[in-house]
Amino acid sequence: MNVLSSFKPALLSIAVLSAMSSIAYANDNDDMEHLTIFGSDGVVNDVPGSAHLISQDELEKFDFTDIMRTLTSVPGVYVLEEDGYGLRPNIGMRGTGQNRSEKVTIMEDGVLAAPAPYAAPSAYYFPTAGRMQQIEVLKGTSSAMFGPRTTGGVVNLLSRQIPEQSLAGQVNVNVGQDGYAKAHAYVGGSGDNVSSVFEVFRYQADGFKDINHSDRETGFVKNDVLAKVLVHSDNSAKYYQELEFKLKFSDEDSDETYMGLTQADFKAAPYTRYSASQLDNMATEHKQAQINHHIQLSERFTLGTSLYYNDFSRNWYKTSKVNGDSLSKGGIENAAAFDEGALPFDEISVDIKANNRNYLSKGLQTTLDADLNDHQVKFGVRLHKDEMDRFQWVDKYALDSTYQMSQTSAGVPGSDSNRIDSAEALAVFVHDEYTIGEFIINAGLRYEDMTIERHDWGKSDSARDNDPTHKKNSVDVLLPSLALTYRVNDELIILGGVQKGFAPPAPGNEDSDNEESVNYELGLRFNRAAFNSEALFFYSDYENMHGNCTASQGCEDDNIGNQYNAGEVEVSGLEVKTGYEFAVSNLLVPVNLTYTFTETEFLNSFSSKLDTWGSVVKGDELPYVPQNQLQFTVGMVGENWRSDLLVRYMDEMRTTAGQGSIISSQAIDSRTVVDLAAHYNIADNQEITLNVDNLLDEEYISTRTHGSIMVGKPRSVTLGYKYSF
């Protein structure tokens, strides 16, 4: 066993991705490279900008099912925990803000994965990270080809690859605290011209919180099923072709809430919930179909095309008011006081809103790769449509002195929110990678032409019999990018770049400007044998920054969906990632460090109804952006075992725009969370695992939304068994 090569650190960077399926297929022709990876053999990576691949080995090391815990290994990425299990990730990059990952382009297998990435970017659906084989993260100029949001970056999740063997598979089961269980299995194989794989992923937990005066659970169940079939021509064919069919289904049932705790209750009993939240539940269903076609037209030209369809429905049935007050305007305090018997009532009212929405996203995209010797050129086109149909209502309940809830009136579907937001978009890009001696010049131009609309029937036309009010935004934009890398020697390169960042206005705001910025980066990469490092300085100069009002931020009902302009904003920082593998006797000791420093500043004063901004004064810092983030991992690898320790530090951060010292009620304190993972191979194809998340059982605040505190997940121990064939 070659231990050194088996556990190479995952500071792997990726070359520019094609805008279709990025994963390399089982019987792929050598000339049809859909994903190019550098760094595994110690060669310096020539990719412009920040680009990282989290390999399968790295994903299996800690076996996280929470994408946010996985992505902290990448510098320049910020995460905001919510439920503790990563069911609805909040991911940001380079100071963009994390709310529902709305400023990040989320893809699976190279196609847009958010429910409605143009019309409603808040990602209440996220691909199940635990079933992914690789994860690619691009920021800055390396992400310039992708849209519609090009300031933050790209997360591209690569699903199960069809095995190269005639028959292969794996079964992985885990059990742990708080009723946690996971079952993950796949089977597949490759024939002469037909290959396939089938995968099932299920995970669940009873939850780590207890509801006051109730025996109801606070956990979840999530299922994911994937099937792929690949048909390809003979390798000797004049025009080698591949045609892949991918089908996916997932559903979720989770008893999650937006109701947090008061400061006093957090200190006294952090892992509790108020009885007013006992009926809160999220139910979702996601269906996906994707067809990928690749044809090698000649030794120089390859054409790849993807047709995709995503259908997502969800109903988050959750408490919106307690005793007539919204959660952020006294409802949390009402719920706390009633549970403590401190209110002079035997009964209080609870409004539960059915946040019922259906999403549709579909499109066709194609990319032509041209090898023109010193020029490696890509031409891409994408036609896309998406929509979000909001059809919501409010049911009213009475919470009595026995802490039982009984319905007092049923809402009429469509009587709370009744609208359709939709978008049609055409995106075209060209990208040229030009090599001159030790210089590589990457020049790109992306064009987006989109129409974003809202049809609103209001709260009194549930049947949609009358003509709705109509708002429309038509946007077209040119987005250039330019990057340069210079190879000083075989071990060191210098890189820099500039790109125009963009995000479209929301459909309901006809007067909103585009979000536009100019983004710069400059840095170096150094690789020598078992040592690798990267340091990048970034600077984003916003002409106008958007803030989108969502329920997850605590916005009031009548304000949800509105968008606000912050005007000029500056974000700058430093991203560092370095790793080294020590060989000690018969052991390998891999050490990796990830660090991000960030500074933010509003350059003008304004007022908004966005809870996290509010009334901003020039010089204020952005909320929910820590100045310092650090992650350190150290492992020990033997012949048939390995153990890894992860230490993750996050600096304090403010929850509302401001400057100077942070008011305690608007602060999330700094924290250090430690995770442990251990693997032991009992046979060549069998492994047992031990994972301990939050080893030191740190109690910490994850967010402050709706005027309350959400708590991070406590220590959690999981045992697993894996069988491969």
Tens-place pLDDT, residues 175-211: 999 999 999 999 999 999 999 999 999 999 999 999 9
**The two structure tokens encoding residue 451:** 């129409």
How many CB atoms lie under 10 A from the CB of residue 664?
8
* Cβ(221)–Cβ(182) below 8 Å: no
Which two tokens mark 654? 């403010």
Which of 52-56, 62-66, 273-277: highest mean pLDDT? 273-277
> Whose structure tokens read 């297998």?
109
564 pLDDT more than 90:
no
Residues 124 and 585: their CA atoms lie apart, in Å, by 49
Percent of the chain with pLDDT over 70: 91
pLDDT at 16 over 50: no
Average confidence (pLDDT) over 647-659: 96
452 CB-near residues (< 8 Å, 6+ apart): 118, 119, 421, 422, 423, 472, 473, 474, 475, 504, 505, 506, 507
Tokens of 266: 């957090």
pTM for the structure as a whole:
0.91
688 neighbors 718 (Cβ within 8 angstroms)? no
Query: For position 103, which CATH number holds?
Result: 2.40.170.20
Cα–Cα distance for residue pair 123/149, rounded to 1 Å: 13
Q: Which amino acid is at 509?
A: N
Check whether 23 has a pLDDT greater than 70: no
Tens-digit pLDDT profile for residues 332-389: 999 999 999 999 989 999 999 999 999 999 999 999 999 999 999 999 999 999 999 9
What's at 653, amino acid-wise? Answer: M
pLDDT at 566: 86
In three-state secondary structure terms, 191 is coil
Average pLDDT over the chain, rounded to an integer: 90
- Structural domain span for residue 59: 3-724
Cis peptide before 148 (omega within 30 of 0): yes
Give, in degrees to the nearest 5, the angle at Cα 309 between 304 and 315: 150
CA-wise closest residue to 277 among 203, 218, 207, 237 = 218
User: What are the DSSP calls for 225-290, one per residue?
Assistant: EEEEEEEE--TTSSS-EEEEEEEEEEEEEE---S--B-HHHHHH-TTEE-GGGTT-EEEEEEEEEE
Please tell me the predicted confidence (pLDDT) of residue 565.
83
N-term to C-term CA, the chain: 18
> Which residues, other chains included, contact 654 with Cβ-Cβ below 8 Å and sequence gap of 6+?
621, 623, 624, 662, 666, 667, 668
Show Cβ contacts of residue 724 under 8 Å, excluding neighbours closer than 6 positions: 168, 169, 170, 685, 686
Cα→Cα distances 521→98, 259, 444, 632, 658, Å: 21, 40, 16, 24, 26
Pair 77, 92: CB distance under 8 Å: yes
The whole-angstrom separation of Cα 263 and Cα 271 is 13
Which has the minimum average pLDDT: 244-253, 268-277, 582-591, 610-619?
Answer: 610-619
Longest dimension (CA), the chain: 83
14: β partners:
37
What whole-number distance in Å separates Cα of residue 49 and Cα of residue 139? 7
CB burial string 45-58: b at 16+ within 10 A, e below: bbbbbbbbbbbeeb
pLDDT at 713 over 90: yes
SS (H, E, C) 705-725: ECCEEEECCCCEEEEEEEEEC
- Taking 60 as the threshold, does the pLDDT of residue 577 lie above it? yes
CB 391 within 8 A of CB 356: yes
- Distance CA(224)–CA(229), nearest Å, equals 17
